[in-house]
Amino acid sequence: MKPIPERGDELILTCRDCSKPNSMKIKSVKKNAQNEDGSWCYTVKAVCNICGFMNGEYRPIWYNFYKIGVIDF
Cα dihedral sign, 16-20-26-32: positive
Mention every residue, 6+ apart, whose C-beta is less than 8 A from residue 35. 41, 64, 65, 66, 67
β strands within the chain, DSSP E: 10-14, 21-34, 40-47, 54-55, 61-63, 71-72
pLDDT in tens, 16-48: 999 999 999 999 999 988 877 788 889 999 999
User: Does the global pTM surpass 0.85?
Assistant: no
What residue type is 21 in one-letter code? P
